[in-house]
Amino acid sequence: MALLGGIEAGGTKFVCAVGTGPDDLQAEIRIPTTMPQETISQVIDFFQQQIKQTGDLAAIGIGAFGPVDVCENSPKFGWFLNTPKPGWQQVDFVGTIKRELNIPVGFDTDVNAAALGEYQWGNGIGLGSLIYLTVGTGIGGGGVMGGRPIHGLLHPEMGHILIPHDLSVDPFVGACPFHQDCLEGLASGFAMEKRWQQKAASLPADHPAWALEAHYLATGLINFILTLSPERIILGGGVMEQPQLFPLIRSQVRERLNAYLEVPQIMADIDNYIVPPKLGSKAGIMGAFVLAQQTIKQNFGV
């Protein structure tokens, strides 16, 4: 099998890897996300060293935090756009990697990449569609339909949908610098920390924070179910490591849909409809490998 490179470009760290899939990860490194020149230089150094040791890579796939330009015909394809990450606005990421390594590059958002990883090797095997929502410091979402990531004018920004906010129940104004009380502004790990004045991981399982968190996340999922009709929903990210959240979210989704969608996945088997990622923390980097595979097929027809 062709040797692939993968980059999961996150706001805190970049994960870079070489291999062919979940059972063949030959090298991996984590690089802190500092400023673009420093971080990208370390990424390039890693792959140059790997090429010397193992031979040429057939392609590199990249899943990146956003917003980014994922439109292949755009002059800014592969650029970071007006991201809130300081110093990373208007950075030509893919172009730099291509110039320095002279390797075909596949590119998408980090959450679309994670969705692709789960679609090929995880909890999406055999399905035609899924969405992947990561709930961590921020909230991001991606999806796969018919084996391809969802794109439109740009890419899904599921974390920034607007949802009902009852200020009499939750007087917290929200934490999103753009929309204040969008889904990310109310339910991200950062929002939870701001609301409760402590990190989400330190809140006890019976704290009222978790019922409120489940309410907001279930509201978002109901909107995605009704608009995209995915065959499975995968929830990842640090906040979702709380075991009490999944039952709360599943219960609220089913209760608030009120039997409107009489499908067995929701009515009788919701535990297998709203699930954690089978690949765990490897979903993103495995999705980067899928992007590399798709690039090889697109460029070379194999």
Convert the pLDDT of each residue in 246-271 to its tens digit: 999 999 999 999 999 989 999 999 99
Q: Is the peptide bond before 243 cis (omega within 30 degrees of 0)?
A: no
Q: How confident is the model at residue 85 (pLDDT cuts 50, 70, 90)?
A: confident
Q: Pick from 77, 13, 70, 61: which is nearest to 39 by CA?
A: 13
Q: How confident is the model at residue 302 (pLDDT cuts 50, 70, 90)?
A: low
Convert the pLDDT of each residue in 36-46 to its tens digit: 999 999 999 99
The sheet with strand 139-145 has its strands ordered as 148-149, 139-145, 129-135, 233-236, 274-275
Q: How far apart are the first and last CA of the chain?
A: 11
d(CA 171, CA 259): 31
Q: Which SS3 state, helix, strand or coil, does residue 178 take?
A: coil
Alpha helices per DSSP H over the chain: 36-54, 93-101, 110-121, 183-187, 189-196, 208-228, 245-257, 264-267, 283-300
Question: In the chain, what percentage of residues exceed pLDDT 70?
Answer: 99
Characterise 55 by phi-psi region: left (phi > 0), alpha (psi -120 to 50), beta (else): left
Convert the pLDDT of each residue in 24-67 to its tens digit: 999 999 999 999 999 999 999 999 999 999 889 999 999 999 88
Characterise 180 by phi-psi region: left (phi > 0), alpha (psi -120 to 50), beta (else): left
